A and B are shown apart, each in its own frame.
Chain A
Amino acid sequence: MQVLYFAWVRERIGVPRENVETTAKTVGELVAELRGREQRYDLAFSDMSAIRVALDQELTDLDASLDGVREVAFFPPMTGG
Chain B
Amino acid sequence: MEILMILVIGVIFTVSTYLILTKSLLRVVIGVIMLGHGAHLLLLTLSGLKQGAPPLLGEEAAAYADPLPQALILTAIVISFGVTAFLLVLAYRTYKVHKTDDLDQLRGSADE
A, B bound: no
